[in-house]
Amino acid sequence: MRILIADDHTVVRSGLKAILQAQPDFELVGEAATGEEAVAKTRELQPEVLLLDIGMPGINGLDAARIIRDEAPQVRIVVLTMYDDEAYLHQFLQIGVAGYVLKQAADAELVAAIRAVQRGESFIYPSLTRHLLNLYLEQARQRDQPAHEGSAELSPRETEVLRLVALGYTGQQIADQLGISQSTVETHRAHLMEKLRLRGRAQLVRYALSKGLLEDHGQ
């Protein structure tokens, strides 16, 4: 198993080396300290697995992963990071990395991750899988939502108020645009929220998005 390490910290690299060398079937083929170096060494050494840090000088882990995915899609990338933000995880999953491991647990888990990706599986650090599950559930909920809420009948005025509230206009701006008083706007909003059984502005925006009411505005 040919492995390349990309991390800008020497101490971390030596720690990782020690962990990997404890596994007899792992072969450390090289080390990189920057994003550029990671790309170049991957190109040159053609490792099976790349352990990739996110925060590096030069191009960061995200950019390096994108380039390597395009240049050498057969290389299995395992992100090894201190960031437990789901946003990073999403980004890397979209790029198509095989594993995501937190440095804080870089011992047995790292080895397990490398073995898993070697088998062609994916490995996501357990505490992060909760985020993925939530994301999945949220998407499922949004898919189902229109079905049972879409039937509510809104008056044209209410639909207009819904659209403007969802677009983030202030009560005063909506009142000015529609030529009605601010309290009338609030009444319309309360009615339509009740009709659609929505709670809060964020749900209202999601509903408007699902109905395509906000199109032609983002540019």
Partner 1 sequence: MHRFLGSLSLRSKMVVAIAALILVLGLGGTIHARLTLSGISNDELDQRALALARDLEGRSGEFLLTNDIFGLHRRIGELVAANSDVRYVVVLDPRGSVRASTFASTLPEGLRQANSVATGSPYSLATLRTDEGTVRDVAYPIDSGRAGVIRIGLTKAPVQSQVDQLTFNLVGLTGAALLAGLVVSYFLATVLTRPLSRLAEAARAVGRGESPVQDELYGHPEIGQVALAFDAMTRQLREKEAERSQLLARVLTAQEEERKRISRELHDEAGQALTSLLMGLTRIEQSGAGAETKIQAAELRAVTTEALDLMRGMARDLRPSTLDDLGLVAALGRYVADYGPRHHLETDFQAASMDGVRLRPGVEIVLYRIAQEALTNVSRHAGAHSVNVLLERRDGHAILVVEDDGGGFDTKRVEAGSPGAKLGLLGMEERAALVGGTLTVESRPGAGTAVFVEVPVGMTGDERNANSDS
Per CB under 8 A, residues contacting partner 1 are: 8-9, 11-12, 14-16, 18-19, 22, 54-55, 60, 62, 82-83, 85-88, 91, 103-104, 106-107, 166-168, 170-172, 186, 199-203, 205-206, 209, 214, 217-219
User: How far apart are CB 77 and partner 1 at their closest, in Å?
Assistant: 17
User: How far apart are CB 165 and partner 1 at their closest, in Å?
Assistant: 9
Pair 80, 51: CB distance under 8 Å: yes
Which residue lies nearer to partner 1 by CB, 45 or 135?
135
Which residue lies nearer to partner 1 by CB, 46 or 209?
209
User: How far apart are CB 130 and partner 1 at their closest, in Å?
Assistant: 12
Pair 92, 100: CB distance under 8 Å: yes
Which residue lies nearer to partner 1 by CB, 67 or 167?
167
Which residue lies nearer to partner 1 by CB, 71 or 138?
138
Map tokens 């397990």 to a residue.
112
What residue type is 144 in one-letter code?
D
Rounded CA-CA distance 80/99 in Å is 8
User: How far apart are CB 4 and partner 1 at their closest, in Å?
Assistant: 18
Provide the strand spans (E) within the chain. 2-6, 27-32, 49-52, 76-81, 99-102, 123-124
Pair 40, 62: CB distance under 8 Å: no
Which residue lies nearer to partner 1 by CB, 44 or 107?
107
- Could you count the other beta carbons within 10 Å of the beta carbon of residue 82? 12
User: How far apart are CB 48 and partner 1 at their closest, in Å?
Assistant: 22
- Could you count the other beta carbons within 10 Å of the beta carbon of residue 172? 10
